A and B are shown apart, each in its own frame.
Chain A
Amino acid sequence: MIGRLLRRDLVCRQAVELVTDYLEGVLPEPDRERFEAHLRACVGCEEYLRQVRLTIELLGRAEPDDLAPKTRSGLIDLYREFQAQG
């Protein structure tokens, strides 16, 4: 059964749905091999995976959006109130 799965080609439409399991390291071994074999042969899916990785990287280095001044001063007031109460 597994041998048959391994031989059967993965199509791009299926491969893109395995990207997260692959990056999370939870793809079972035969599926991981099949996925990697597909990537080696498929420029489109290789680029897709690269873009998902870049997306993750971009999200990781995004600066937190600036707080609205009112929100920020409200939170600082909250802090001062808290301190004043001891």
Chain B
Amino acid sequence: MSFKVWEPPMRTEAAFGRIIPIAQGLTPQSCAMKEGITPAILSANTLPLRLFSGGASTMWDLDPALATPETLKSLVKTFIATGGQIYQGNTTSVEELENALAEPEKYPNLMVRVGGFSSRFVALQPDVQREIVQRHRHSH
């Protein structure tokens, strides 16, 4: 049996034919998440997620300095308690990803969560790499 997790396309053609990366799954667009990860999670979970066949996927990238086990535990627990279904995330820093873009030969083993799967960062298409770098890293 296979499940289809609902995911929109990675890119969209905006007005004037400009191609812009868009957020993964039901994750809010990064520029919309101005108040941190907690309002973004509560907001995404106000949608009627039960209507999504196979589950609704979300990505929550955190600054590595914030990603303590206690904090992650609380985020995931509340995510589930408020109706969330699929929680995925990265705790790599933007700096590390940019280094990997500049010198891919030095980062053969850097794994990232893309959407419904994980991959070696340097093996991804440039579009997808760019999208991961641009994701909002919730931090203070």
Task: Indicate whether A and B interact.
Answer: no
Residues of B within 8 A of A (CB): none
